[in-house]
Structures are given as structure tokens and as C-alpha cells.
Amino acid sequence: MKEKIVLIDGCRTPFLKSETDFLNTMTYELGQLAIKGLLTKTGIDPKIVDSVVMGCVISTLKTSNIAREAALTAGIPYTTPCHTVTQACISANRAIVSAIGEINTGHAEIVIAGGADSASETPIGYKKSMRTKLMKANKLKSFGDTLKFVSKLKLKDFLPETPSITEFTTNKTMGQDCDIMVAKHGISRTEQDKLAIISHDLAEKAWEDGHHEKEVVPVQIPPKFKFIHKDNGIRSGSKIEKLAKLRPVFDKKHGTLSAANSSFLTDGSAVVLLMTESKAKELGLKPKAEIINYSFTGQRLEDELLLGPAFAMSKALDNAKLKLEDMDVFEIHEAFAGQVLANIKCLNDEQFCKERLNKDQTVGEIDMTKVNQWGGSLSIGHPFGATGARLLNTAANRLHNEGGKYAILSACAAGAHGHAMIIKKYEE
């Protein structure tokens, strides 16, 4: 029998709207801040950390392995191996599962896992034609050759190539896919706006009640060393009438997705500390939760891009031999309000469960009073590579706060992927 893998604790930076206070902070620096916060919070000696695994989506050439750079600058010894993984919006989830794999196979006992991303650090380059010309320019030997090269350049050569936010295979944005999905499943604009309002109000209340404060490490960013301790995307107290006036963002004619019911571009980092149960006892650490099971799924890109949570939750529950009604806490990534509502609806839809999940009956109905009660990605924010670690830590903290036994966390991701993980409140 494999030894229990437990979550000791988690830590994150404030999640900030891109182009705000983290504008000049590099992604690895965000990771460094989260790791430092976790080391301080848990009191763990950096020298005994066996591995660091980080998720990241928007990487740069200078710091392609942000796990290594973040770990070294946070005080983790150079002898500790570090690697970076990517799987779109579930990159941190993949990092956590990679850590679990290292522990299960005996390659590590103590692992820091999570992720970081900065939408403010999006790399912008030149088009292929210009890059080819510049590479040839490196071989020029004389000033005359250089002048001749420059004279042949055209204005269009200097036009930047911005990263695409579309699916490579379908050429549609996730927002466009979500607009199609919510229309197909009958999710109204009003339903989406109401969920967005709830998310923001719950996030603000969680801050007022001190829940987020226990998860977030305050930071000071040079050169002004401004003290930042809170997420800056939360807008509590919004009115449904005001949100209804916002124009659709993606399908401007028929769409129901707006800036209010969609998650925003975010900078931030989140990490968790995982280890074997025996190691936790040896170190005198009290775990928060035990990792029970997890799943990753792939779906059709044409019409199921954002339905990953429905597929993944069903699979994880089957793997763990548990039912939806056994779950006391749900943490579901809010890429869009409509995405959350569509997944919840599908899990309780007889036809969908029969045809797509191979079920004789529905997976079940989710009690919305158990979902994202401290807010979600719509309000807190969504740094692509970090969200999964936030979900795990919050799920564990909610179990203890709400007196529950089991929690399930889930997320969708670009490429039509889904992830779910089931955890159990730790009890000796």
C-alpha cells in the first residue's frame, strides 16, 4: 500500500490585474515571492526540499525554467532539482500531480509545487520573415553590408507579432467557444451576470472574514516598495442592471459573455507543500489534507472545449469510488461564469451523462452553496500557471473552516482538457 501524500500548507501572492502593480515584476520573481512565503509560513528548511515543480504558460526565453529561477532566488539550494511544466490553465494542477508522482515513486519526500504567470510579461516579437532577416544580419561583416541590409527593410517588417489567444486547431478564442457552449446549453446572460456578482461578493466577504489573508503573502515591489497585500480585481456590490448594459466581448452580435462575467488577465503565483505522511510526522508538521485521487481528461475541441470539469469530476469520483453527494466543498475554476454553469448543468443532465460520460444515471446535482464560497477566478483572478495551486489550498482550508470531509477541485483548460482532484481533510 502506497503511503499517504499530504498537503501541509499553501501560499500565494496577491493576484493582480495585469499592467498594474506587478507590471515590472518578472514571472520567476512572482514564483520566488510565493515560495519564500511558503517557506516562512511552514518553517520548512529549504535544504530538505527534494524538488520544486512549477506550472507556467507565458514563458520567456530568459527564464524558460521559471521553477529553477524562482527556487534559487527564494533560497532553495542549487542541489535541489527544479522543473517547469505547462498545460494551459491547469499547469499548476499538472505540477502538483508531477510532484505526487515523484513522491509515489520514491524520488522525493518533500516537494514544493504550484505555478506562476504574468500576463504583463507577454513576449512580443517579430514575424517569421523579419526574424529570418535578423538572423542573416548577424553574419554581416562590413558597415556597407549593414547599410545595404537596412535599406532593403520595409515598414511592415517592423510590425510586432503578438501572441495568439486562439486555439491553434480551431482558430477560435476560448470566449468564442464559451459563447457557443452557453447558447447550446441554454445558459442566459442574466444567469452568468448573477454568478459573477456572487463571485465578487463572496471574495470580498472572504477577505473581510480573514480567509484570504491566511493564504496570501504580502509583498513589497521595488523600486517604490509599495506594500501589496490584497487582490485588486474584486468589485463587490455590483448591480445586475449595470452588468446587463455591458456589451458582449467575443460574439458582439449574439454573444452573452462580457468583461464582467469573464475572468481577467492576471499576474500572480501560488504554491503548495506536499510530502509523505511519515515525513510530516517526523518533522512535527500537521497536514491539512490528504490527496485521494485525481484525473485529467481530453474532450472534443469543436463543442466541449470548456466542459473539462464535468468529464474530469466524473472520472475522479469513479476512481475514488465516491459520489458527488459525498463532496462537502467544491472549488471550480471560473474561466467564465457560463463555463461553470454549463459544467454543473451537464453533470445533472441525463442525456449528457449517458452519451458522453457513459453513465446509467446523472452524476448528480451540485449544491451551489458549496461552490467557490470564498470567491473564484472571476473575482480573485486567474494567473494561468498558478490557479490550480490556489484551488487546492483554498479547498483544504474550506474543509477545515466548514467542517467538511471531502473536497473536489476542478478546472478546464485550453486544448479541451479537464482536471479534477479529490482531497480529504486530514485526521490522524
Interatomic CA distance for residues 340 and 196, integer angstroms: 11
330 near 290, Cβ under 8 Å? Answer: no
Selecting among 82, 178, 353, 412, the annotated active-site residue is 412
Burial of 325: CB neighbours in 10 Å, binned 0-12, 13-18, 19+: exposed
Catalytic, 412? Answer yes
Total residues found in the chain within this entry: 428
Q: What angle do CA 112, 217, 374 make, to 5 degrees?
A: 95
Catalytic, 178? Answer no
Interatomic CA distance for residues 11 and 390, integer angstroms: 8
Selecting among 11, 56, 82, 89, the annotated active-site residue is 89
Query: Computed over its alpha carbons, how large is the radius of gyration of the chain?
Result: 22
| Cα–Cα nearest to 111, from 406, 389, 414 | 389
| Cα–Cα nearest to 34, from 213, 290, 216, 221 | 216
> Which residues are annotated as catalytic?
89, 412
